[in-house]
Amino acid sequence: MTIVGGFDVHRAQITFDYLDTDTGEVTRGEIRPATRSVLQTWFGRFAGRADVAFAVEGCTGWRFVVEEMVAAGIRPHLAEPADTATQRGRKKRAKTDRADARLQRELLCQGRLPESWIAPPHVLEVRTLVRLYVALMGERRTWQQRIQAQLFHQGVPTLRGLLTQEGRATLASAALSPAGRQMVDTALAMIDELGERVVPLRAQLQAIGRRQAGARSLTAHYGIGALCAAIIWAELGDPRRFSRSDQAVRFAGLDVTVWSSDSKRAAGHLSRQGSAVLRWALFEAAQSAARASSPDHDYYTSLADRLGGKRPALSVARKLIRRCYHTLRELGDDAWSTTGAALQEAA
C-alpha cells in the first residue's frame, strides 16, 4: 500500500489523515460538508490508483463513506469503535477529530486495526428494514404502556388484551377525566397508525425470511420463524469471520461477564454488547422452548425449575445462535445470495 489513511466522520465534516508511504508525507484536513457528492469529488485525487486504503470507524455515517471508497477503487477498512478506542490506551491524552483520524491511520499502517465486517448492500438494506420494524414495534409498545399508566393513575383496574375488541370496549367505558380520555384516545389512534405501517413491513421481512437462502436455512431450527430468521440473518452477518461459535455468542451480547480476583468474585451479568435487535430476536425464538414439542424443552424446564426468570430463555438463546452460526457457515456464499423477489425489492 502506498497511500494509507484514516477518516473521522461527523455530520458537519469528515476529518482525514493519510500517509504516502513512499515519500513519508502526511496530509491532513477536513472535507466539508460531509455529503456523498463532496466525498466523490475529494476521492478524485486518487483516480487511477490501486494502492490506496482508508480506515473509518463503524459509527453512524460509515455506509456512504465505504460505498464511495469502493466506487473510487479504494480499499475500505471498517474499524470496530470500542476496540479502536481501547487501542488509544488508558493514559489521558488530547482527543480530537484529528487525533482520531491519525489513530486509525497508524493502526492500519501497523496492522493492528480491529476490523468489523462490511455487510453487502442488500444485507444493509434488510438490516435497515429490520431496525425500522423493531423501532415501530417499540413505539407501539410504548403507547400501550402509556395507556396502562394512565388507567392506573386514575384508579381504573388493570386491563388485559388492551387492543382486542373487548379491551377497546372496556376502555371506551372506563371512568376517566376529560384529559385522561383524550390521552387514551390519542394513544389508540397512534397505535392504529403504527399498525398500518407494521403489518406490511412484517410481511415484507417474512417474505425475505422464506425466500433468501441463508435466512430460510435458519427456520430449520425450532422456534425460528420467517420473521426472526430474517432478523438474525441480517444482524448476525457472515459467521465465517468468527473462528468459533463462542465468538458469535459474544457478538450478540449473550455472554456472561466475569470479574474475579483471588477469592472475590462478582455475580455475572449479560454483557449486552453488540446488536440489541439480534438479542431480541434470539430471545423471542428461545421462548418457544417452553412448548413440550421443542427439542430444548427438557433443558428449558430444568433451568426454569432451578433458576427461574429469564435465564432459561437466555440459555436457549445461546444455543440457538450457536446453531445459526454453524448453519450459515456450512451454507457458505449461498447464505448471502440476492435471490428472491422480496430481497431484490429490498435491495
Confidence check: pLDDT of 174 > 80: yes
Percentage of residues in the chain with pLDDT exceeding 70? 94
Q: What's the whole-number mean pLDDT along residues 276-285?
A: 96
- CA-based Rg of the chain, rounded to a whole angstrom? 25
Mean per-residue pLDDT of the chain: 92
The pLDDT confidence band at residue 274, using thresholds 50, 70 and 90, is confident
**Confidence at residue 221, expressed as pLDDT on a 0 to 100 scale:** 97
- Check whether 88 has a pLDDT greater than 70: yes
pTM: 0.90
- Band of residue 77 on the pLDDT scale cut at 50, 70, 90: very high
- Average pLDDT for 191-205: 97
Contact 80, 114 (CB under 8 A): yes
pLDDT at 94 over 90: no
Q: What is the pLDDT of residue 340?
A: 55
pLDDT of residue 339: 65
Whether 203 contacts 346, CB under 8 Å: no
CA distance 247 to 241: 9
Q: How far apart are the first and last CA of the chain?
A: 32
Q: Give pLDDT, residue 253.
A: 92
Rounded to whole angstroms, the Cα distance separating 45 from 237 reads: 33
Q: Please write the tens of the pLDDT for every residue from 286-345.
A: 999 999 999 999 999 999 888 888 889 999 999 999 999 999 999 999 999 886 555 556
**pLDDT for the residue 270:** 80
Residue 343: predicted pLDDT: 59
**In angstroms, rounded to a whole number, what is the distance separating the alpha carbons of residues 59 and 83?**
13
pLDDT interval class at 51 (50, 70, 90): very high
Which residues, in sequence order, are CB contacts of 76 under 8 Å at separation 6+? 53, 54, 55, 56, 65, 66, 69, 70, 118
**Position with higher pLDDT, 111 vs 91:** 111
The pLDDT of 176-185, averaged and rounded, is 96
Average pLDDT over residues 131-138: 97
Sign of the C-alpha dihedral, residues 307, 312, 314, 320?
positive
Asked whether the predicted pLDDT for residue 261 surpasses 90, the reply is no
Of 69, 56, 73, give the one whose Cα is nearest residue 16.
Answer: 56
Rounded distance between C-alpha atoms, residue 235 and residue 281, angstroms: 10
- The pLDDT, as a whole number, for residue 132 is 98
Q: Identify the burial level of 247 via C-beta atoms within 10 angstroms of its C-beta, where 0-12 means exposed, 13-18 middle and 19 or more buried.
A: middle
Backbone angles phi, psi at 7, to 5 degrees: -115, 145
Find all residues with CB under 8 Å of 149, minimum gap 6, and list them: none
Please give the pLDDT value at position 321.
97
Single-letter amino acid code for the residue at 127:
R
Average pLDDT over residues 66-80: 96
List the alpha helices (DSSP H) in 212-347: 213-218, 226-236, 245-251, 276-286, 297-306, 311-331, 341-346
Quick one: cell of 294? Answer: 421443542
Strand-pair partners of 30: 15
Residue 273: band (very low, low, confident or very high) from pLDDT cuts 50, 70, 90: confident
Q: Are 263 and 312 in contact (CB under 8 A)?
A: no
Sequence letter at residue 23? T
226 has pLDDT over 80: yes
